[in-house]
A and B are shown apart, each in its own frame.
Chain A
Amino acid sequence: MAETLTHIGRTEPRPAGLQGIAADWSSDQRAFKNVSWGKAMMWIFLLSDTFIFGCFLLSYMTARISTRVPWPNPSEVFALRIGGSDIPLILIAIMTFVLISSSGTMAMAVNFGYRRDRRKTAILMLLTAALGATFVGMQAFEWTKLITEGVRPWGNPWGAAQFGSSFFMITGFHGTHVTIGVIFLIIVARKVWRGDFDTGRRGFFTSRTGRYENVEIMGLYWHFVDLVWVFIFAFFYLW
């Protein structure tokens, strides 16, 4: 795909690098030449979501820098008592591995989707959804544990009051994303299983026929959820 369509409708070899970008964007047709609108729109949605989570993490940073009161040590707050000794952050680490694994199964589901292997695609997507649900379950456990220990959006027993509000806001919003992802994974997996993308059956909501690319677009969303967790893990739990 090393061509670009010029404004006079002639196909010319696409220049390399920045000139190629300028040629694509100024071509008076569509900027994303070989990307379907569905995929482009998902990317643009994810870009806007990036800014939302970026602002959450920014507000957390601002609160943490500007408080006079010491910030609670996440390593101790999120420690879990297993076999008589406190293991720091162990639940968060397990959650991280679960989410990464779900990303791996999702990537493989996309691959099998393009190979028209309906069975494997659907199974891998359902496995992804199960891992995602596991993640949400562990998060619910984490919330319950912290709430019973007295963490509230307006205060906590260990230090700066902003800790609770940042924690509930950031992880709550991320958990919501995971939950929505699980629901849509199940919907798309059902479509794959039934063969909707082969028979051209129309969606119940959009009345449009789908393609196996829908699996990839679903995958983009899911990997994004994993991506956001990478940043939350680094900045909120490890910092």
Chain B
Amino acid sequence: MAEATANGLGQHALDVGHAHEVPATGISHAEVHQEHPIKLYLVVWAWLFILSTCSYLVDYFGLHGYLRWSLILIFMILKAGLIVAVFMHMAWERLALTYAIILPPILVLVFVTMMVFEADYTLFTRLAFFGAGP
């Protein structure tokens, strides 16, 4: 993505006449515009279609067990990554923002771990007191 331009200081590698006002607030405060070639979005769009089709086919062919779950997770993470990185322009944002937004949701995984143990324990007590399902 070398042709992607993410700056507010003029310097547009893109076609068509841009009439950009340059923020006159000093260099370190210049806010960036996210401008990238349309082709990039179309490519990502196509990939999202391909990945969605793949994850649908996982269900269509009725794959089971770890193969199913790992494929679902891989396609999900790839799709999420493409949307956040390209459509939401996170790939071109400054690291201070990227880390502030991307890192906290990872803490949800800690919560997931806790609730897996909790739910297993609930299931254990249910089976112990009520027996297997009706």
Contacts and interface: CB of A to CB of B under 8 A. Distances in A.
A31 interface: yes
Contact of B94 (A1, A65, A70, A115): A1
Which residue, of B58, B60, B132, B134, has the highest number of chain A Cβ atoms within 10 A?
Answer: B60
Interface in A29-43: 30-36, 40, 43
Contacts of B32: 1, 34-35
A25 B120 contact: no
A93 B100 contact: no
A131 interface: no
Contacts of B36: 111
Interface string B96-134: 110111001100100110011011101100110010111
B118 A20 contact: no
B29 to A, nearest CB: 7
A187 interface: no
A231 interface: yes
Contacts of B115: 58, 61-62
Given A43-B101, A89-B56, A107-B41, A21 B96 contact: yes
A11 B29 CA distance: 11
A47 B119 CA distance: 26
Interface residues of A, number: 69
A18 to B, nearest CB: 8
Interface stretch (A149-157, A163-171, A218-226): A218-226
Contacts of B62: 75
A135 to B, nearest CB: 14
A139 B120 CA distance: 32
Interface residues of B, number: 70
Interface string A96-109: 11001101101110
Contacts of A101: 45
Given A1-B28, A47-B104, A68-B130, A35 B111 contact: no
B67 interface: no
Contact of B55 (A219, A224, A238): A238
Nearest to B125: A66
Interface string A38-68: 0010011011001100110010011101111
Contact of A5 (B28, B49, B52, B69): B28
Contacts of B97: 32, 35, 40, 43
A34 B94 contact: yes
A33 B96 CA distance: 9
A35 to B, nearest CB: 6
A115 B18 contact: yes
Given A21-B99, A33-B94, A34-B32, A234 B111 contact: no
A114 B34 CA distance: 8
Interface string A118-144: 000000000000000000000000000
10 contacts: A33-B28, A43-B100, A65-B122, A65-B123, A67-B123, A93-B52, A104-B44, A226-B87, A227-B83, A227-B84
Interface of B: 7-8, 14, 16, 18-19, 27-36, 38, 41-42, 44-45, 48-49, 52, 55-56, 58-60, 62, 68-69, 72-73, 75-76, 79-80, 83-84, 86-89, 93-97, 99-101, 104-105, 108, 111-112, 115-116, 118-120, 122-123, 126-127, 130, 132-134
Given A31-B96, A33-B96, A111-B36, 11 more contacts: A24-B96, A43-B100, A61-B115, A65-B116, A65-B122, A66-B119, A96-B52, A100-B45, A114-B33, A230-B80, A231-B76
